[in-house]
Amino acid sequence: MRRRSNIPSGVVGAPLDLRTQDEAKRQGCPSVVDGRLRTYAPGDNAGRFVDILGHRVSRPLAVSLAACVHCGLCAESCHYFLARPDDPTMTPVWKADQIRKIFKRHVDWTGRVAPWWVKAGSPRDDEDLNRLKNIVFGACSACRRCTYNCPMGVDTALLVRFARGLLTELGIVPEGVFNVSRDEWETGNQMAVTETDYLETLEWMRDELRSELGTDAVDIPVDKPDCEILYTINPREIKFDPRSIAHAARIFHAAGVSWTLPKRGWDQTNFGLFSGDDKLGGFVARNVYEAADRLRARRIVISECGHGYRSTRWEGYNWAGCDQKLPTESVVVTLKRLLEEGRIAVDRGRNPEPVTFHDSCNIARSGDLVEQPREVLRRVCADFREMHPNRRENFCCTGGGGLLSMAEYRPLRLEAGRIKADQLRATGASVVCTMCHNCIDGLADVIKHYRLPMRVVQVLELVSKALVLPGQP
């Protein structure tokens, strides 16, 4: 498994790092012991991969695998290829072909009879699977930009997630993916935040807010039943950015919204989306839906997070196998409604700097929100300007697909970030706003690497800054 590939794209040769897996086995982590989280075991993994592929492939996947005509039109939609225009292995079609060839060899027709004719092939050994791991985890942020640009309607990002899921089943995953999946299985949130940390951080934010606003009426309630809103957050907010919770609390207080965070089931992020593990996806999403049910909330509101929104609003119900009953929306939609209903007053003069907006791939291309954040930003910013391309044609922040947790692919990710850097620079804005915690880190990396004179903020922060509170200056 330490053999290096001679394919030029660098990341393709990254070895399989088993240190965390070995450690988890030694410690007897419950999710590893009971088989929810798979670890790598030498053996006929190539055969097992083919077997699982044959059983798991759905009709939309099968037609996406069969339909590609190798026209290459998707190439220039990918930020990896745009950053490395001389490297065919960076094209979406080449990446998808590494999965497609296995499908053709084992499931499709011609590939079974005359594999060389259609470039069909089998993974020979674990090294081949490791190579595939590096392609689908390391050279694709699953941004779905190529999907939107394929004339045939081939969903390459879906194929990439599918392949990731098969490899996850064999424990052939980047160390970061294993780590985060383990944390999510074992603690219910992807940063292993303990209940004490969670509750203490919320209390800390509540106390700060009370002293800032000079009233004890403002609260960050936990497990309050029968509220209008069940607010779910990204663990990053507890660990690194608790102010974002305070911003939400400040706005909800001003609007007189009845809301609560749940004690359990508060993590709206979902690593199952990135690892391709639908079981993990269903487990995490179900925690949120059960919390809403338990507390009889009337609406689930998801804080600003791209993949969290996509997972909780769209994919999670399907992974968890439960029909959606409650409205499930992004906090940006909530903010828009509060502004439209006149429940909060804002002064856009409080955000005078030029602000641009970065659309999160998971929200714009795999979700449904593009106009709503803009409507909010136009109300709270004095100088809002678009970056180009935008909306569903925007480029990834580079951190999509869980790539921020995979350190071994960072150099390639930042190289591909040149496209994003050019886009940001061209706006002339000093602030880039995004409604995604992942994008915050992805953009911050790009800004630092390419030395851009910008900072990243979220919609909640700008709304909170523009908020006009009665009796406050």
**Interacting residues with other proteins between 286 and 305 (CB under 8 A):** 298-299
The site that binds ligand SF4 (CB under 6 A) totals a number of residues, namely 25
201 binds other proteins (CB under 8 A): no
DSSP labels, 105-149: HHTSSHHHH-GGGGT-----SHHHHHHHHHHHHHS-----HHHHT
Q: Which is nearer to ligand SF4, 105 or 413 (CB)?
A: 413
The nearest distance, CB 423 to other proteins, in angstroms, is 14
CB 247 within 8 A of CB 138: no
Secondary structure element (H or E) that encloses residue 330, with its range: strand 328-330
CB of 411 to other proteins, least distance (A): 22
- Which listed range, 143-151, 175-183, 210-218, 419-427, lies at the site for other proteins (CB under 8 A)? 143-151
Nearer to other proteins, 198 or 384 (CB): 384
Pairwise CA distance, residues 411 & 80, whole Å = 12
Among 321, 411, 428, 453, binds other proteins (CB under 8 A): 321
Residue 95 binds which one of other proteins, ligand SF4, none, with CB within 5 to 8 A depending on kind? ligand SF4
Distance separating alpha carbons of residues 331 and 463, to the nearest angstrom: 11
| Least distance from ligand SF4 to the Cβ atom of residue 108, Å | 15
Residue 154 in contact with ligand SF4, rule: CB under 6 A: yes
Decide if 149 contacts 104 (C-beta within 8 A): no
Q: CA 298 to CA 326: how far, in whole Å?
A: 7
Q: Where are the alpha helices (DSSP H) in 18-109?
A: 19-27, 30-33, 45-56, 59-67, 79-83, 92-106
459: Cβ contacts below 8 Å, ≥ 6 apart? 304, 331, 332, 335, 373, 376, 377, 433, 435
Of the candidates 27, 41, 44, 62, which one interacts with other proteins according to CB under 8 A? 62
Our finding on whether 9 is near ligand SF4 (CB under 6 A) is no
Measured distance CA(308)–CA(287) in Å, rounded: 13
Please report how many Cα atoms fall inside a 13 Å half-sphere around the Cα of residue 65, on the Cβ side: 26
Evaluate the CA torsion angle 23, 25, 29, 35 in order and state its sign: positive
Q: How far is the CB of 53 from ligand SF4 (least distance, A)?
A: 19
Decide: is 53 part of the binding site for ligand SF4 (CB under 6 A).
Answer: no
Q: From 28-36, 138-146, 231-239, 381-389, give the range in contact with ligand SF4 by CB under 6 A.
A: 138-146
391 within 8 A of 356, measured Cβ to Cβ? no
* Partner that binds at residue 189, options ligand SF4, other proteins, none, CB closer than 5 to 8 Å by kind: none
Query: At closest approach, how far in Å is the CB of 148 from other proteins?
Result: 7
Tell me how long the chain is.
Answer: 473
Return the exposure string of 172-189: e unless at least 16 CB atoms fall within 10 Å of the residue's CB, then b. Answer: bbbbbbbbbbbbbbbebb
Q: Which stretch binds ligand SF4 (CB under 6 A): 147-155, 177-185, 370-378, 381-389?
A: 147-155
**Cβ-based neighbours of 313, under 8 Å, separated by 6 or more:** 302, 328, 329, 330, 367
User: Is 59 one of the binding residues for other proteins (CB under 8 A)?
Assistant: yes
Binding mask of the shown chain, residues 88 to 127, with x at each position contacting other proteins by CB under 8 A: xx-x-xx--x-----------xx-----xxxx--------
Q: Is 226 in the site for other proteins (CB under 8 A)?
A: no
CB-neighbour burial class of residue 223 (10 A; exposed 0-12, middle 13-18, buried 19+): middle
Return the range that interacts with ligand SF4 (CB under 6 A); candidates 77-85, 106-114, 120-128, 161-169. Answer: 77-85
With CB under 8 A as the contact rule, the residue among 33, 69, 345, 468 that binds other proteins is 69
Cα separation, 77 vs 297, in Å, equals: 41
Binding mask 381-400 for other proteins (x = CB under 8 A): --------x-xxx-------
Q: What is the CA radius of gyration of the chain?
A: 23
**Which of 75, 205, 245, 457 forms a contact with other proteins (CB under 8 A)?**
75
CA 429/CA 387 separation, integer angstroms = 9
Footprint of ligand SF4 on residues 86-115 (CB under 6 A)? 92-93, 95
Interface of this chain with other proteins, residues 329 to 368, rule: CB under 8 A: 329-330, 333, 336-337, 364-368
Is the CB of residue 309 less than 8 Å from the CB of residue 367? Answer: yes
Site for ligand SF4 in 167-196 (CB under 6 A): none
State the minimum distance, in angstroms, from the CB of residue 405 to ligand SF4. 16
Distance CA 351, CA 466 (A): 7
CB of 90 to other proteins, least distance (A): 9
Beta carbons within 10 angstroms of residue 107's beta carbon: 17
- Asked if residue 78 binds ligand SF4 (CB under 6 A), the reply is yes
- Which of 1, 13, 25, 148 is the binder for other proteins (CB under 8 A)? 148
Q: Which of these segments, 6-14, 152-160, 292-300, 447-455, binds ligand SF4 (CB under 6 A)?
A: 152-160
3-state secondary structure of 386: coil
Residues making contact with ligand SF4 (CB under 6 A): 68-74, 77-78, 80, 92-93, 95, 140-146, 150, 152, 154, 156-157
